[in-house]
Chains A and B, each alone.
Chain A
Amino acid sequence: KNQVEQSPQSLIILEGKNCTLQCNYTVSPFSNLRWYKQDTGRGPVSLTIMTFSENTKSNGRYTATLDADTKQSSLHITASQLSDSASYICVVSVKNNAGNMLTFGGGTRLMVKP
């Protein structure tokens, strides 16, 4: 079972609409959680990073929330644009013997249509 689960797997919305992507994780001990945006054929690009003490963080039209108690995070996109079409990947950082490790979710593939 994947330790970082994202939902939905894919999503289609109309330009200008809002949407929320979900991330549930089971990995521990938790260090921080990041959201990445990955355009087709490109490497992931960091959007936000949150430690366990942070509940929300915004980056322009992107707002991430974190509930460390329930081990859930969400990424809310406001007033979507065509350029928001991409995969959004939730990444949880876990402490291990080697220091720390990133565990990636499978991503949500978002398509914004005009």
Chain B
Amino acid sequence: GAGVSQTPSNKVTEKGKYVELRCDPISGHTALYWYRQSLGQGPEFLIYFQGTGAADDSGLPNDRFFAVRPEGSVSTLKIQRTERGDSAVYLCASSGRGGPWSDTQYFGPGTRLTVL
């Protein structure tokens, strides 16, 4: 089947606006992860879902960031009152059994967010 997909591939927004980034994991994968990657850096963990619940959201930088996964498959990362510092590539990954150590994570192509 298809791999992890993310939409949109690119998003340009103005400072202060609200954005939603979508992730479609590999079918059947119970674990879903969001990362943020700045230019020239490795990915930075944001949040991890096991099923519908956020098992670990310790990486979310502040309360402007929020993510949901209401039916245990598709997830949406929501950013309120965007700031220029939010500009980055937002990566989504999924894995089979859950637990960041137990399974290989399969990454999507990312959404490049640019805040003007």
Instruction: Tell me the A residues contacting B by CB distance below 8 Å.
Output: 4, 31-32, 34, 41-46, 49, 89, 91, 93, 95, 98-107, 109
Contact = CB atoms under 8 A, between A and B. Distances in A.
A102 B100 contact: yes
A43 B56 contact: no
**Secondary structure of the B contact surface, majority rule:** loop
B109 A41 contact: yes
B107 interface: yes
Contacts of B99: 99-100
B61 to A, nearest CB: 16
A98 B56 contact: yes
Given A104-B43, A106-B42, A43 B101 contact: no
Interface residues of B, number: 25
Nearest to A101: B100
Contact of B40 (A34, A99, A106): A106
B109 A43 contact: yes
Where chain A touches its partner, the secondary structure class is strand
Contacts of A44: 43, 91, 107
Contacts of A93: 100-101
B25 interface: no
A44 B110 CA distance: 10
A104 B108 CA distance: 17
A98 B41 CA distance: 25
B38 to A, nearest CB: 10
Interface string B4-32: 10000000000000000000000000000
20 contacts: A4-B42, A32-B101, A42-B107, A43-B4, A43-B106, A43-B108, A93-B100, A98-B56, A99-B56, A99-B99, A100-B100, A100-B102, A101-B56, A101-B100, A102-B45, A104-B42, A104-B44, A106-B41, A106-B42, A107-B42
Contact of A100 (B101, B106, B108): B101
